Structure 1
Amino acid sequence: MADCVFCAIVAGSVPAFKVIDSPEGVGFLDTRPVFKGHVLVVPRQHVITLPDLSPTDLPGYFGLVQRVAAAVPQALGAAGTFVAINNIVSQSVPHLHTHVVPRTKGDGLRGFFWPRTKYASDEEATEYAAKIAAELG
């Protein structure tokens, strides 16, 4: 879809700090992360919500989400991850995307209040993306 920023990231016409680019989808750093290393995983095709994703694409897409959810703690030394999808409400970009957020005990995240932070520079974002990409192989 021409006016979808996530489709443009998938196509490579909009830059992003990609951690994985595979047939099942693309993972890249959120530009307003809850915590540094927060990855968005999107399917290659433009679908707006999870119910719009073809049942035949579910195993590949969620396999990719699972890989990213395993890689993020290993790459960043986090204890685990928070994995979430918004459908319509609170969905800032109308393209299905799954949040994979690194978590540690006592990190301050409570419920669905997601404080946002910023990367200090593109270089810092590149470092985080590279660590997760390296863990994904």
Structure 2
Amino acid sequence: MSLLERWQADAATVRQISALRERYGEGPLPMRVFGRDLAVVLSDKDVDAVLRTDAVAFTAANCEKSAAHSPFQPNGVLISRGDLRVLRRAVNEQALDTAQPMHHLAGPIAEVIRDETAELLLTARATGSLDAAEFTRWWWRLV
């Protein structure tokens, strides 16, 4: 990642998306690529619309995603379609508290993180160091 960042590997893509948005406007840009209908999202406002729509044109369950997810999440919302996707998404949104600005468990989770982090800092100060192995142990304790 640091090498890609140093080379600014995404800069050409960012420029290309900007040029497409300037030429075609902000709506998702429909394209036909290798016999498949795709839509390139050109603005951040359209990302929300695409993620919330149930239109077949914007399905997340494309061939590649279905092939990648089906061995691990054969019943996952990302590769579901139609009414089943609507039901599964509703369950996910309820569990994730998407209607709320913060998840109902965010407060207790943040409190645990504060407590654990304070203990980690005390330990690191007492020993004068914090190596990768110790950090990893604490990290998984938080997780």
Q: TM-score, normalised by structure 1?
A: 0.23
Relative contact order higher in (CA < 8 Å, ≥ 6 apart) = 1
Bigger Rg over Cα: 2
Decide which structure has greater helix share.
Answer: 2
